[in-house]
Structure 1
């Protein structure tokens, strides 16, 4: 397997690529959250009007980190040097986070303004929905969304906008397979792959061989909800965009709940999390193809370079083309210290807009809800998440207007049914913080 490590020598060309690719407004928004930060007695500055600034300062910070850490490894460590390494490491992490956020904003910009592409019928429906949220009036155009129980389904484009933004915020959803469904659940057949074969002579008997069997896994959605409120007076008098307000209330909460459930959900009214399918975990025996294989880090309480290389090469080549690391920022900070046998750092920052940081040449996905580096924790996943994990979306986000329960507030009870589970455990590996046995 060939691995390409991005070196400092490539920074100039890639920073020029970033300069051409990043709109100044997006860059300014990303930089506002990143710096200034005092590092080693200096104040790092970035000109938000210069799109090369972020890449240039990231490179400078990472070079300083490597120099300080190399000095520490030579036995010159003391309290001042330790603090220096920690501060630079935090700076590198902040820059990388800013670039990751920038990449997400660029992806959102490429998605475009969905409302601009709505048909006249969709615009009419959205207007009727807006009127219903404000006053409760039922208009003819709303009949497509009404149910016998009095609920109302949100406009299609509003539904799609929330789903698009959830994909940008929730890393597992972004990288997994997403299957919309229109029924109560989803069933998937699996072949147990036990077919037999053998060699025979020209006239020899052909005894019966083993026949493969089929197993079924159910993927059932749980219900995710939010219950926002506003006074009737505000709804009557305000000129705010009601749809936008509801979206801003729902998106971060739905994204937070999904991110947790897709990793560690127990399957009770929520998805089965991918970590629960790891060898030794609660659902290790659930899938007919077995559990997600564990690879030890090589140390009882730490990451090691050998552990990173081992997990990469433990994954079958058939699943390596789209393989990525999934880990949180604290684990990435530990990974920045690792070197290979030629004394090269395994972690490299991103030098181009739209590209993630890499570890041993493999893309790293910032996954906040992954466990930290600690004894016996699964600190990282490595593999093809699109092949591994299946998210099922019951089509439609439902909005129920309730002016009665909590007067003088009007409640907006919003629900989305979503489920998930592992569809192929063989395309993923789990890195466990443990010594090799």
Structure 2
């Protein structure tokens, strides 16, 4: 079988033959069986002192095919995830009125109807210098696709806020307790100590451009066009910030949190498990560090834990076997599912770093409890027909923040000696 990757699937007159998720999934499973057979043969040849460069190249091609097919499945899952939308914040009649007024504003710049709606309900529109809120259906469509595109947003807790900062209190030290007899005096215990984590919402923007012909064409669905222009770029920027953002005018990523060896873990740090080898896995029993990582997480976090890494790190791990000889990486159980690693789901996050000296290339944890994303209500659009004539720019903004909320819920693999 030829594994040269030219495209995700052969083209036909009707489009792409691999557009059916089940077909792509079946191809993925067949490719994985070929991968296991080729890797087993490679390992046997190495044990017999007969390493073969051609075999290594063939295995790399099969590995690339696996990645391509998994990426195709992810794309199909994204298309299938587009929701049947329903308005929530306003009555149906007002939603329809807002949607019609917003379309008139986008097509022609006529904001009269939007201003009238703003007068009736100040929560709908904003001053012209700040743009206007998009209709609820469009906002929900963008948010849903962001959750599917950005793996961290899909894994983390997401809270909608109305202000600029969300503060979450947590207990530093709980109340003192003790055992007493039935008639013994009860001494007064110490009061619990509290602190608060702050999650400010930062501004994220995109500025798609449209031609006058596009805006004049009544057949063009402007909601779909606008969502398609901004959801991908928003998701890319968010995904990077949630992983490694420094917190300066952007969310603070979990890799930006101070780290410490897990044996010396303390609140405010993320615990790390070292591979013992700089820029790589141990040559003997390389999968052991992953087992150590799993059990470094407290039992209460483990049932909902997920591995997070990029595809290049996955390619290195895909060769590993457990003590019984079974591969620890497994393809999705269903066409719309995720690959698994040692029995836990695996999320692809291309913003995770490649394996390098002292890199933190693998994360594992309960991200719903460990990482919080805050979304300021509303996505705003400001129409600008002047700055780039003959194009019309749509300055689109949303406010989003994020950071670690439970430092014990996420653990990292450090590719170093300690």
Give 1:147's match in structure 2, choosing from 102, 107, 126: 126
In structure 2, the partner of 1:99 is: 73
| Equivalences for residues 290-301 of structure 1 within 5 A | 290-301=268-279
1:268 aligns with 2:271: no
How far apart, CA to CA, are the structure 2 residues paired with 1:331 and 1:388? 22
- Classify the secondary structure of the residue corresponding to 2:383: strand
**Cα gap change, 1:49 to 1:403, in 2 (>3 Å):** closer
What secondary structure does 2:352 align onto?
coil
TM-score (norm: length of structure 1): 0.81
CA deviation digits over 1:88-138, x for unaligned, max 9?
Answer: 221222222223333333333xx23559x9934322221111111122223
Shift of 1:232: 4.3
1:344 counterpart residue number: 326
Show CA shifts across 1:274-315 (max 9, x none): 11124159xxxxx99331111123433223200111101111
CA contact (8 A) 1:55 1:351 kept: no
Q: 2: CA distance between counterparts of 1:404 and 1:56?
A: 51
Q: Deviations 1:192-215 (Å, cap 9, x if unpaired)?
A: 135333345566665554432100
**Cα-to-partner distance string for 1:210-258 (whole Å, 9 max, x where unaligned):** 4321001111011001122234465346642333222222111111110
In 1: Cα distance, 2:339 partner to 2:94 partner:
44
Paired with 1:195 and 1:386, the residues of 2 have a C-alpha distance of 27
CA distance in 1, matches of 2:273, 2:266: 21
- Aligned with 2:36 (options 54, 57, 66): 66
Partner of 1:192: helix, strand, or coil? strand
The 1:149/1:118 distance shift into structure 2, 3 A limit, reads: closer
Which residue among 375, 381, 388 is the counterpart of 1:399?
A: 381
Between the aligned partners of 2:127 and 2:376, the Cα distance in structure 1 is 19
**SS at the partner of 2:173?**
coil
Q: Please point out which of 56, 80, 91 is paired with 2:26.
A: 56
Contact 1:278-1:430 at 8 Å conserved across structures: no
Structure-1 separation of matches of 2:390 and 2:26: 54
SS in structure 2 of the partner of residue 223 of structure 1: strand
Report the TM-score when normalising by structure 2: 0.85
**CA distance 1:412–1:57, change in 2 (3 Å):** closer
Distance between the aligned counterparts of 1:292 and 1:158, measured in 2? 37
1:268–1:123 CA distance, 2 compared to 1 (3 A): same
Q: Is the 8 A contact 1:278 1:294 kept in 2?
A: no
What's the secondary structure of 2:362's corresponding residue? strand
Which runs of 5 or more structure 2 residues have no equivalent in the other structure?
A: 1-5, 119-123
Per-residue CA distance 1:248-273 (angstroms, 9 max, x = gap): 22111111110111111111111111
Residue 397 of structure 1 and its aligned partner are, at CA, apart by 0.6
**Counterpart secondary structure, 2:289:** helix
Aligned to 1:165: 145
How much does 1:146 deviate?
3.5
Residues 114 and 321 (structure 1), Cα distance of their counterparts in 2 relative to 1, 3 Å cut: same
Select which of 132, 136, 140 maps to 1:156: 136
What secondary structure does 2:207 align onto? strand
Quick one: which of 98, 105, 123 aligns to 1:125? 98
* Matched-pair contact (CA < 8 Å) for 2:260–2:270: no
- State whether residues 349 and 357 of structure 1, in contact with CA within 8 Å, keep that contact through their aligned partners in structure 2: yes
Partner of 1:289: 267
Gaps of 5+ in 1: 1-31, 38-45, 282-286
Cα pair distance change 1:230/1:314, threshold 3 Å: same
**Counterpart Cα distance in 1 of 2:338 and 2:38:** 24
Distance of 2:273 and 2:416 partners within structure 1: 9
Structure 2: distance between partners of 1:221 and 1:121: 28
Q: Is the 8 A contact 2:21 2:76 kept in 1?
A: no
Tell me by how many angstroms 1:47 deviates.
6.2
The CA distance in 2 between the partners of 1:233 and 1:315, in whole Å, is: 56
TM-superposed CA distance for 1:374, in Å, is 1.6
1:77 corresponds to: 51
* 1:302 corresponds to 2:275: no
